[in-house]
A and B are shown apart, each in its own frame.
Chain A
Amino acid sequence: MKEVINLPVKNIEEEEYHINMGPQHPSTHGVLRLVVSLQGEIVKSLKPHCGYIHRGIEKMCEKDTYPQIIHLTDRMDYLSAHINNHAVCLLVENALEVEVPERVKYIRTIIDELNRIASHQLWWCSFGMDMGGLTCYFYGLRDREKILDIFEESFGSRLLHSYYTPGGLMMDIHPDFQKNVKAFIKYFRKKIKDYDDLLTGNMIMQLRTKGVGFLSKEDAISYGVTGPSGRASGFSCDVRKHHPYGVYDKVDFKEILGTKGDTFERYMMRMNEMHESMRIIEQLIDNIPAGDYTAKMKAVLKLPAGEYYQRVEASRGELGVYCISDGNKTPYRMKFRSPNFSNLSALDHISRGVKIADLVAIGGSLDYVIPDIDR
């Protein structure tokens, strides 16, 4: 006769249990593992585990010369590769006090903004896919392809360009570059209306995102949430406005600030930023001055001993590069303040008390790129 074991009966509704979201999960956009503590369907707390794609880029920088570091920064936030390159180039140029030709500044600003649009397009399509709309993915990638074709024609590669060098550019822009960019702006102004019809106005999407995942201005500042995610909470943190580099001080653009700080506001920030980026490009594309595409640089770059810091506005927030030089041709220490790492730190605070299905939408609206978190 079988022995009957009486297990203690637990109240399932009060019991907390943990599930692993990731590292292989389509909505984490990479190898990120979130250990989510759940009570029923409600998220009680959340713990991100980083390091699955850690490549030691900061350590690798210590053995590379300054021009060689550029190609490593491509591989951090690969969706804003040009902007990462820009940060290191500005750091070296400011340390050596090199005057960069005006043509280079114009071209760099245009390409940075094109990169920002391409990044936000990919964010839009993956956000739509996270919410369950697969059609968005095809429309977003179709339009991003136009920018990638411009990049491929001018610099030879689609994702990891290594186009900027300290002092200038690798080569001059393609003769068709200006014509193609103007054609793209005209094309995308029409297509972005489809984005609004398809997803922004969609009632199901609005009901799932409005009022969900609230982040206050104070919390955004204390967690260091920058970029569109921080500006959605009303935190004025646009480096292009506050510490202009390139030719951002000569163009007329708005820093878009939100008030509500929920998931839908973060969505709208990026949609409006695409319009602003197109405005910046339109003001600059016809006025690229003639001149050299690179300044005269020494064969071996040696930074004077000291500490240097440079920040730029990447497409996900503020990217800072901190460098200690001991006067050699390689840096003594290199540190990247990546925007995604700080944005991820606020995820636990934002997602407490929401449903597990909304966690996917919140993660999509923070728009993290995992190689930038782990570096």
Chain B
Amino acid sequence: MNSIFEYFADIFHTVKSLLTGMKVTGRYFFSPGEIVTQQYPENRKTLKMYDRFKGEVIMPHNEHNEHRCTGCGICETACPNGSIEVLQAKIDMPDGKKKRIIDKHIYHLGMCTFCGLCIKSCPSDALAWGQEFEHAVFDRSKLNKTLNQPGSSIIKDIVE
């Protein structure tokens, strides 16, 4: 007699617990409230990432096509997996001395792990995070970027 009672009590509790769960799902079904999903490719125009979002490493240039990079190469040594290469060039100064300036700042996006050590270690704040995140390309060589724009020069007031 006792076991039969337990048997039906178990069935009752099971049905009750299932209905409790169904109440939760039913509540969300009939009153969805806040919709959390994003219609991503459709909302491209209005999509705004957070200011600190780590999309890619960029070198900001001002309106005169000038950047802040002195070509010291600290970012190259700070990078844990060699995704930055700084190529230097020498120019003759008016006073006869030779000065090292940056020739090319090459950034291998495909190797970058987005740790941010290059940006943190830069003494002249030449690098920053960009907001671009759609990095898919058809050819791997397109991921090797030159960060300083062609014909750009260093801002005058930066001291090495």
Contacts and interface: CB of A to CB of B under 8 A. Distances in A.
A70 interface: yes
Contact of A71 (B13, B53, B113): B113
Contacts of A156: 50, 52-54, 116, 129
Nearest to A70: B115
Interface stretch (A27-35, A200-208, A342-350, A358-366): A200-208
B20 A197 contact: yes
The contact size tier of chain B is 20 to 34
Interface residues of A, number: 29
Interface in A124-175: 135, 142, 145, 152-157, 160, 162, 165, 170-171, 174
Contacts of B23: 197
A87 B152 CA distance: 43
Nearest to A142: B36
Contacts of A64: 80
Interface in B12-38: 13-14, 16-18, 20-21, 23-25, 36
B117 interface: yes
A71 B115 contact: yes
B25 A155 contact: no
A203 B13 contact: yes
A142 B34 CA distance: 11
B80 A71 contact: yes
B25 A198 contact: yes
A51 interface: no
A23 interface: no
A28 to B, nearest CB: 26
Contacts of B120: 165, 170
A197 B52 contact: no
A54 to B, nearest CB: 18
Given A142-B36, A197-B23, A202-B18, A67 B117 contact: yes
Contacts of B17: 201-204
A307 interface: no
**Among the interface residues B23, B78, B115, which one has the most CB atoms of the partner chain A within 10 A?**
B115
Contact of A202 (B10, B21, B36, B117): B21
Given A71-B113, A201-B17, A153 B54 contact: no
Contact of B24 (A70, A153, A162, A198): A198
A68 interface: yes
Contact of B36 (A145, A201, A203, A204): A145
A68 B52 CA distance: 21
Nearest to A143: B36
Interface in A19-51: none
A298 to B, nearest CB: 13
A135 B25 contact: yes
A194 interface: yes
A197 B24 contact: yes
Interface in A328-373: none
A72 B117 CA distance: 13
A110 to B, nearest CB: 18
**For A64, A70, A156, A194, which residue has the most chain B Cβ atoms within 10 angstroms?**
A156
Interface string A193-237: 010011101111000000000000000000000000000000000
B156 to A, nearest CB: 27
Interface string B42-78: 0000000010111000000000000000000000001
B18 A203 contact: yes
Given A68-B80, A71-B113, A198-B24, A152 B18 contact: no
A229 B73 CA distance: 48
Nearest to B37: A142
Contacts of A135: 25
A119 B105 CA distance: 39
Interface string B80-118: 100000000000000000000000000000000111110
Contacts of B20: 197, 201
A138 to B, nearest CB: 9
Interface of A: 64, 67-68, 70-72, 135, 142, 145, 152-157, 160, 162, 165, 170-171, 174, 194, 197-199, 201-204
28 contacts: A67-B78, A67-B117, A68-B80, A70-B115, A71-B113, A71-B115, A72-B80, A142-B36, A152-B50, A153-B50, A153-B52, A155-B52, A156-B53, A156-B54, A156-B116, A156-B129, A157-B53, A162-B117, A170-B116, A170-B120, A197-B21, A197-B24, A201-B17, A201-B21, A203-B13, A203-B16, A203-B17, A204-B14
Closest 8 CB pairs of A and B: A71-B115, A68-B80, A203-B14, A156-B54, A156-B52, A162-B115, A203-B17, A153-B50
